[in-house]
Amino acid sequence: GLLEVQFPFSDPTADGVYIQRACADALTAGFTVDDGFRLVERLVQRADAPQVFVMVYANLAFRPGIEPFMARCQGAGVRGVIVPDLPPDYDEGLYATGRDLGLEVVPVVPVTAQVERLRTVLETSRSRFLYTALRKGVTGGYTHISEESVRFLQEAKSLGVSTMAGFGISERAQVEALAPLVDTVIVGSAFIRALLEAPEDADPYRTVRD
């Protein structure tokens, strides 16, 4: 399986209310990037370990330096990274560094993009993975799987890339509609919402810390 681990950031520009709250709670509790890497290392050491993809915003990768950050990801056992605000043609060397280190760098493309843009991104990034954002805006709100989305995902599949799809997935019917079109369905906000809507006497983040 695949597991996306997002490192909290103070200005999560693509995230809706639930992930924003989770990021704010984590930062208020003292989260650091070191904590994030320690969590990843624990995850990849499990006998049933998934392939872990670390998602960060550009500042967390750029500030320590792209190469040191990516080397740290490699050392932690990360399969790949997702940096949505560093597209392949303005990536500060992210994609080349990933190739040098054997890490997948996953471009993020909205399903509203032109097919020409999709082809350019894949040719430039040389990535074997693609993260498709199923609508414009931020995560969290319900997303209808439109005919436009289906056509885009079919085009991506025809190009031989392993496609992930996310943004607003919270119901079984959405997953069933996407299943023939993508390799991975990403669920984030719905997971956090379930934690936050746990009984009042429960600690919503207990399992994350344990």
Instruction: Tell me, yes or no, if 15 is annotated catalytic.
Output: yes
Nearest to 126 by CA among 178, 154, 155, 91: 91
> What's residue 189's pLDDT?
77
Q: Which of 4, 67, 92, 176 is catalytic?
A: 4
Q: Which of 15, 41, 116, 210 is catalytic?
A: 15
> What's residue 138's pLDDT?
52
Residue 134: count of CB within 10 angstroms of its CB: 25
Q: Where are the beta strands (DSSP E) in the chain?
A: 2-6, 51-55, 80-82, 104-105, 108-110, 129-133, 162-166, 184-185
* DSSP for residue 197: T
Tens of pLDDT along 77-101? Answer: 999 999 999 988 899 999 999 999 9
Residues of the chain with pLDDT under 50: 207-210
Instruction: Tell me, yes or no, if 4 is annotated catalytic.
Output: yes
> What's residue 10's pLDDT?
76
- Structure-token match 């995560």, residue found: 139
> Phi and psi of 81, rounded to 5°?
-130, 150
Name residues whose C-beta falls within 8 Å of residue 183's C-beta, 6 or more positions apart in sequence: 162, 163, 164
